[in-house]
């Protein structure tokens, strides 16, 4: 059993101009695929981990400094899989009443959430990820560098925005802030947030 590249949960041309079909050809078809392929190649030599769920592989690799390359590639498979689920056709989802109540309690309103999320994402130096997570009975924003992910800390990720340059360079060149602003304003898939908050958190690898 090997990990597999998930199909995009939307038409790859349907998020333009914020994210173009060409960007998905590279980001999903090349970058994400390479992480999956590399993880599978590494796992072929690690029979103790072969066949384990992606989440178990990530936790095991995070705990073993000798498995750093496996961690990076398996974690990037997980992160990108949630990233695709965190995107939606612009305007097609909105926060439910329950999620709105949580956003108000956690950030002081949707606009303040957006401002804080963009600031956090822009403030992540170098490659990484900006996350909306569950933090106790509230929501929180956090960022991680490179392949790091909240799963390793036992924290539930609700949505994520990729802030590696490869995520936005084709459509936004160097303007990370413009990309992240589009993410919170029109792309963020609130149905995914609500579903994961409700405890629907299947493995990120469906292979
Ligand atoms: Mn990426």
What's the predicted TM-score (pTM) here?
0.97
Give the Cα separation of 207 and 205 in Å (integer): 6
The answer to whether 176 and 28 have CB atoms below 8 angstroms apart is no
In sign, the C-alpha dihedral spanning 35, 140, 195, 56 is positive
pLDDT at residue 207, as a whole number: 74
When pLDDT is cut at 50, 70 and 90, the band that residue 171 belongs to is very high
Q: Is the pLDDT of residue 35 over 90?
A: yes
For residue 166, the CA-to-ligand 1 centroid distance in Å is 6
Give the Cα separation of 168 and 87 in Å (integer): 14
For residue 113, the CA-to-ligand 1 centroid distance in Å is 23
Question: Domain ranges in the chain?
Answer: 21-85, 97-197
How many helices (H) does the chain have, and how many strands (E)?
Answer: 9, 3
Instruction: Kindly state the average pLDDT of the residues 107-126.
Output: 98
For residue 84, the CA-to-ligand 1 centroid distance in Å is 10
When pLDDT is cut at 50, 70 and 90, the band that residue 206 belongs to is confident
The answer to whether 147 and 179 have CB atoms below 8 angstroms apart is no
Which CATH superfamily is 97-197 part of? Iron/manganese superoxide dismutase, C-terminal domain (3.55.40.20)
Q: Is the pLDDT of residue 1 over 70?
A: no
pLDDT at residue 81, as a whole number: 98
User: CATH assignment of 21-85?
Assistant: 1.10.287.990
- Concatenated DSSP letters for 45-57? T-TTTTTS-HHHH
> Around ion ligand 1, which residues have CB less than 5 A away?
162, 164, 167
Give the Cα separation of 173 and 168 in Å (integer): 6
- For 133, the 3-state DSSP assignment is strand
- CB proximity list for 66: less than 8 A, separation 6 or greater: none
Start-to-end CA distance of the chain, whole Å, equals 7
- CB proximity list for 154: less than 8 A, separation 6 or greater: none
For residue 167, the CA-to-ligand 1 centroid distance in Å is 5
Give the Cα separation of 89 and 8 in Å (integer): 12
Give the Cα separation of 184 and 104 in Å (integer): 16
Average pLDDT, the chain: 97
For residue 98, the CA-to-ligand 1 centroid distance in Å is 30
């Amino acid at each position: 059993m090997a990990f597999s590249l998930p199909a995009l949960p939307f038409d790859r041309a349907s998020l333009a101009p914020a994210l173009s079909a060409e960007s998905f050809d590279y980001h999903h078809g090349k970058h994400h695929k390479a992480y999956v392929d590399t993880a599978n190649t590494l796992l072929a030599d690690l029979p103790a981990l072969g066949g384990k769920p992606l989440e178990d592989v990530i936790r095991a690799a995070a705990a073993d400094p000798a498995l750093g390359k496996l961690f990076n590639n398996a974690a990037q498979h997980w992160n990108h899989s949630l990233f695709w689920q965190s995107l939606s056709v612009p305007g097609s989802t909105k926060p439910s009443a329950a999620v709105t109540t949580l956003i108000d309690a956690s950030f002081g309103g949707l606009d303040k959430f957006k401002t804080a999320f963009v600031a956090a994402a822009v403030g992540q130096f170098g490659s990484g990820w900006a996350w909306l997570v569950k933090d106790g009975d509230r929501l929180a924003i956090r960022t991680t560098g490179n392949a790091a992910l909240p799963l390793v800390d036992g924290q539930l990720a609700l949505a994520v925005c990729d802030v590696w340059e490869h995520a936005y360079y084709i459509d936004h060149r160097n303007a990370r802030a413009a990309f992240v602003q589009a993410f919170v304003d029109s792309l963020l898939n609130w149905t995914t947030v609500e579903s994961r908050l409700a405890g629907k958190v299947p493995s990120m690898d469906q292979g």
